[in-house]
Amino acid sequence: MSHDNGPSLWSTFSAGLWRENPIFAIVIGLCPTMAVTNTVTNALVMGVATAFVLMGSSAMVSALRKVTPGPVRITIYIIIIATFVSAVDWALAALLPLAHKQLGAFISLIVVNCIILGRAEAFAARNPVLPSVLDALGMAAGFTLAMLMISTPREILGSGTLLGLPLFGPRFEPWVIMVLPPGGFLTMATELTILAWWRHRSAERQALAEAT
Amino acid sequence: MSAPEPTSATLIGTLTLAGLLSGLVLVGVFQSTKPLIAANRAAAMEAAVTRVVPGAVKAASYERVDGKVRASQVAVGASSDKPMAYAGLDKAGKVVGYAIPAEGPGFMDTIRVLYGYVPGAGTIVGMEVLDSRETPGLGDKIYKDADFVANFKKLDSKPEIVGKKKGTKSKPNEIDFITGATISSKAIVKILNGSAAQWAEPLAAGATPTQGKQP
């Protein structure tokens, strides 16, 4: 964010999507990433719920940034975030009871997701409402994308299904470990390794191109 | 974020205001979602009752007080401080069996089950796991393994349910355990035996619906 005129709205949004992806680049908010990526549906619902909380709280934090006294700002942020999370929790229980049952305590735990407090403190507290909402939207989209990238191989290999639909015949023996916690770490580590290799390689190529 | 240090009064005022506003929002959301959530719970429980009690199309709440069963004012699926059972009613409103929620420790966490029970004979006619965190692929066979679940379609709970190694059950009160999920299977047997022992006599004695009307 060292541009002269500040980043454009598009780059504010797209930063979270990939370049500063909360999971794969900043590597925060990993508890839900490990816990609810055992099926694609869970990951999707979690992503949408987190997106709602992130956008709502970023907008509120940004709108109130001039009247929030510095010494108690974190407390205020937590009050705002917790309010949104409780609202999402009840709304899901009322509208999508099955998804709510599946995700269980992890909905309430959105309140301690570092991405949300992190964006409130790092971005929303210093920027106007529109960029803050765009930043939240980008981060939420990046979070959901990462959750989908982790949950898809886990569900396919661990349950032999995608979005709950069976992919293989009845003779497929699921790799149970993939839906257990170790599977989350294995998938995440594999994807981080591939991305790190890819980033390293493109940086090398760029350096080479500049040198010649 | 302003340069001058805010006074304590400002801080207290801001936090109080934030708490108040948050409280207002929460009360609003809670009040508007409460009836829907209760309706969801009731619908889910009623559906489960009709699955574990064959022939039932509706559910009615009963509670156990001092070893007697009586009709309860608590809605189906709502939480109560008394042990609950749900009568499965057929189309004519006749009780065809009871669905009893029960719980106990499993391999990972508490397992909550609902089982269909016909008093007198003490026959278990169905069982469904409502809530569990058993190991995927192993312990979760207590509800995913059709053979295991079929054990509970017609099972004598008297004198008590006995678990046998897979393929060796021979008596009407015996079930086949799941290979690789012995702890979870044993947990189910223990939960059912414990619960059936508590409910057998009160249910066999019959419900006293007249008392339930007076709180």
Beta-carbon separation of A69 and B10 below 8 A: yes
Mean per-residue pLDDT, A127-146? 94
Residues 32-61 in B contacting A (C-alpha not used; CB under 8 Å): 33-34, 36-37, 40-41, 44
Asked if A170 has any chain B CB less than 8 Å from its own CB, the reply is: no
Domain residue limits at B143? 38-208
- What is the average per-residue pLDDT within A147-163? 91
Residues of A in contact with B29 (CB under 8 A): 86-87, 90-91
Q: Which of A59, A100, A95 is CA-nearest to residue A77?
A: A59
Domains contained in chain B, number? 1
Do the domain assignments include residue B25?
Answer: no
Chain A contact present for B7, CB below 8 A: no
Average pLDDT estimate for A144-173: 88
CA proximity to B88, closest of B113, B117, B112: B117
Judged by CB atoms closer than 8 Å, whether chains meet at A75 and B136 is answered as: no
pLDDT at residue A184 above 70? yes
Which positions 51-70 of A are in contact with B (Cβ < 8 Å)? Answer: 65-70
Q: Where are the beta strands (DSSP E) in A65-198?
A: 161-162, 165-166
Quote the CA–CA distance of B205 and B208 in Å, as a whole number. 9
Interface of B with A in 13-32 (CB under 8 A): 14-15, 18-19, 22, 25-26, 29-30
In this complex, which of B34, B44, B136 lies closest to A97 when CB atoms are compared?
Answer: B44
Range of the domain at A48: 9-211
- State the pairing for strand pair B174-176/B162-164: parallel
Residues 120-139 of B with CB under 8 A from A: 131, 135-138
In whole angstroms, what is the distance from residue A23 CA to residue A21 CA?
Answer: 6
Are B14 and A70 in contact (CB < 8 Å)? no
Residues of A within 8 A of B44 (CB-CB) are 97
With an 8 Å Cβ cutoff, are B30 and A90 in contact?
A: yes
Interface test with A, best of B22, B41, B108, B109 (most A CBs within 10 A): B22
Best mutation target, A37, A42, A72, A80, to test chain B (most B CBs within 10 A): A72
Q: Tell me the CA end-to-end span of chain B in Å, nearest whole number.
A: 58
Q: Tell whether the model's pLDDT for residue A60 goes beyond 50.
A: yes
Task: Report CA Rg, chain A.
Answer: 19
Give me the residues of chain B with pLDDT under 70, please: 1-4, 136-137, 207-215
Task: Establish if A194 touches chain B: CB-CB under 8 angstroms.
Answer: no
Pairing of strands B110-118, B68-71: unpaired
The confidence score (pLDDT) of residue B208 equals 60
Report the residue of chain A nearest B33, measured CA to CA: A94
**Summary mean pLDDT of chain A:** 88
- The DSSP element (H or E) to which A101 belongs, if any, is helix A97-103
Average pLDDT over chain B reads 85
Q: Is A166 helix (H, G, I), strand (E, B) or coil?
A: strand
Residue A2 has pLDDT above 50, yes or no: no
Domain count, chain A: 1
Q: pLDDT value at position B31?
A: 95
pLDDT value for A55: 94
- Give the whole-angstrom CA distance, residue A74 versus residue B11: 12
ipTM of the complex: 0.75
Q: According to the model, what pLDDT value does residue A160 have? A: 86
Query: B89 — alpha (psi -120 to 50), left (phi > 0) or beta?
Result: beta
- CA dihedral (A189, A195, A198, A202) in degrees, to 10, reads -140
CA trace torsion B47, B48, B53, B56 (10° rounding): -10
Res B212: pLDDT: 41
Secondary structure string (H, E, C) spanning chain B: CCCCCCCHHHHHHHHHHHHHHHHHHHHHHHHHHHHHHHHHHHHHHHHHHHHHCCCCCEEEEEEEECCEEEECCCCCCCCCCCCEEEEEECCCCCEEEEEEEEEEECCCCEEEEEEEEECCCCEEEEEEEEECCCCCCCCCHHHHCHHHHHHHHCEECCCCCEEECCCCCCCCCEEECCCCCHHHHHHHHHHHHHHHHHHHHHHHHCCCHHHHCCC
* Residue A3 in domain: no
- pLDDT, position A5: 53
Mutate to test the interface with A, among B10, B15, B30, B40 (most CBs of A within 10 A): B40
Give me the phi and psi of B63, to 5 degrees please: -130, 160
Residue A203 near chain B (CB below 8 Å)? no
Q: Is residue B145 part of a domain?
A: yes
Q: Is B28 a domain residue?
A: no
Distance CA A70, CA A88 (A): 28
Chain A segment 122-161 residues within 8 A of B by beta carbon are: 125, 158-159
Q: Compute the radius of gyration of chain B from its Cα atoms.
A: 23
Which residue is closest to A96 within chain B, CA to CA?
A: B40
Could you give the angle at the alpha carbon of B16 between the alpha carbons of B10 and B18, nearest 5°?
Answer: 100
